[in-house]
Structure 1
Amino acid sequence: MDGRWVEVAEGVLVRRHTELDLNTGLVLGETGCLVIDTRGDGVQGAELAAAVREVTPLPWRVVLTHAHFDHSFGSQAFEPCEIWAHERCGPALAAGAEADRKAWSEYYREQGRPSVAEAIQAARIVPPTHPVSGPVELDLGGRVAHLLPAEFGHTDHDLLVWLPDVEVVFTGDLVEQGAPPAFKGSWPLAWPTAVQQVLELKPAVVVPGHGEPVDRAFVREQLAELSRVAELCAEVGAGRLDRAAALRKSPYPEDFTADALESVRTNPGHA
């Protein structure tokens, strides 16, 4: 089984997966538990569900931080249950599922891993049952999980899971550790504002979508880098800086910055 549990606070566990360095989450209450993200296909989702059941028999609810395949294609393993997500997550999942299937199944075939490619192709996409349009509180019994839309950043439907009793926040891919943030299809001009929302919670522990859990200092550093990328994108968009110069000046590798520049061209609003 791919993954290991790391307890980041009392009753709050992060499942660290080798595959894609992905994080999923488990929040334990007295009467229920909350599973945060479901991995990338039905096989991986079933592995996660089995790992959750090794920890607790409590009834579960699922929260999706966003619609990308590695966070959402495993949801069928948890049915029937409530699946909470930003109100734009469901439409994004429906619109992007086939492109994700094609791109990632090709990737895994090229990596010589046809079984993973086939599992992605076979995954049944489960739409969220509970769309979130504003702050929502989920009572797990003795603990409340706060779902907070972060709007435009890594996607146009990022959702934070905030646990104020232990000062832990799950950010999905708004925060990344171990690799630069993924800008393809993102909203680079608005992303810093979304990360500022994370910092305003004053969390003790921040669980990124990928990589090791981090602290506020790490998030502040990443915010500075994201702000620099946003500035460079705005300068290129205004014609005050050429693309080559922006790539040189970026804190991130050229291919990541190129994705940011392209994303601003296709998603120009929400600066």
Structure 2
Amino acid sequence: MGRWIEVGDGVLVRRHEELDLSLGLIAGGRGCLVVDTGGDEAQGAEFAAAVREVTSLPWSVVLTHAHFDHTFGTAAFGECAVWAHPGCAAELEAGGEAQRATWAEHYRTAGRTDIAESIEATRIVLPDRLVRDRAEVDLGGRVVRLLHPGPGHTGHDLVVHVPDAGVVFAGDLVEQGAPPAFEDSYPLEWPSTLGGVAALGASTTVPGHGEPVDAAFVAGQRAELDEVAALCEAVAAGTLTAAEALERSPYPASFTAGALSRAGSR
């Protein structure tokens, strides 16, 4: 089960113990916008029911990126507009079944057959409102801005800016409670992309995982990502060994190794 945190007037975060996940809800005068939907249809249904306890306004959905824990719950929201970057739609279409198999096996191996079965039974929904650069969603008396600030955690990250509340939902471009995940990342571009998020001037940033954070936290994470990018460049230039980079990184070796691998493969 989850718990609500209010981060602004009509702007809430639904926190989940599983994967330390943070989902969002933004309410306006005529509609509401759901930010990410959880990792399977059962979790999505729990989130949808929690939203209905807060508001009866018609909803639409925005997906910050294509990873299963942010998108596999979408079917629980029924027929509605689903906003995302074109790359998110492409990744879900091409790689959704592979994600399903990988994570169902992960949870089954961990002894969580309930979650494994929920993932296997989930209907993957493709977004139908595609945002390549930016778009606005009018909720009635409140306009929410959807922005693709550049490649970072993935090549198709979308952030959700609520200007009148000073809140940004950053997806996994920002992580609190654990280091950033680099498996599908663009480590060299991520710092400048996060700089673009910081430039929005939000007082509160909601990470994809973890508790809401302030501008100082985002600046600190950008500095750490800058360090990782510099290490990746040094390894590519031959001025540093991979082992030396792992030792100097602000993040654990397993995370930094992912960044080195991604930077080296591009």
Q: Secondary structure at the match of 1:150?
A: coil
Aligned to 1:96: 95
Equivalent positions of 1:62-101 (< 5 A) are 62-101=61-100
Equivalent positions of 1:75-224 (< 5 A) are 75-224=74-223
The one-letter amino acid of 2:171's match is G
Q: Tell me the distance in 1 between the aligned counterparts of 2:127 and 2:251.
A: 34
Equivalent positions of 1:36-75 (< 5 A) are 36-75=35-74
Q: Tell me the distance in 2 between the aligned counterparts of 1:13 and 1:176.
A: 18
The one-letter amino acid of 1:76's match is A
1:213-261 CA-partner distances (Å, limit 9, x unpaired): 0000000000000000000001111111110000001000000000111
Contact in 2 for aligned 1:34/1:60 (Cα 8 Å)? yes
The one-letter amino acid of 1:91's match is A
Aligned to 1:22: 21
Q: Secondary structure at the match of 1:264?
A: helix
Q: Tell me the distance in 1 between the aligned counterparts of 2:238 and 2:130.
A: 39
Q: Secondary structure at the match of 1:151?
A: coil
Q: Tell me the distance in 2 between the aligned counterparts of 1:119 and 1:97.
A: 15
Q: Tell me the distance in 2 between the aligned counterparts of 1:76 and 1:265.
A: 37
Q: Secondary structure at the match of 1:145?
A: strand
Q: Tell me the distance in 1 between the aligned counterparts of 2:166 and 2:86.
A: 25
**Cα drift, residue 99 of structure 1:** 2.2
Q: Report sequence identity in percent.
A: 59
Q: Secondary structure at the match of 1:38?
A: coil
**Cα drift, residue 98 of structure 1:** 2.1
Structure 2: tracts of 5 or more residues without a match: none
The one-letter amino acid of 1:255's match is S
Runs of 4+ deviating beyond 4 Å: none
Q: Tell me the distance in 1 between the aligned counterparts of 2:160 and 2:24.
A: 10
Aligned to 1:237: 236
The one-letter amino acid of 1:233's match is C
Number of aligned positions between the proteins: 266
TM-score by length of 2: 0.98
**Cα drift, residue 102 of structure 1:** 1.9
RMSD over equivalenced CA pairs, Å: 0.8
Q: Tell me the distance in 1 between the aligned counterparts of 2:240 and 2:94.
A: 34
Structure 1: tracts of 5 or more residues without a match: none
Q: Tell me the distance in 2 between the aligned counterparts of 1:175 and 1:95.
A: 25
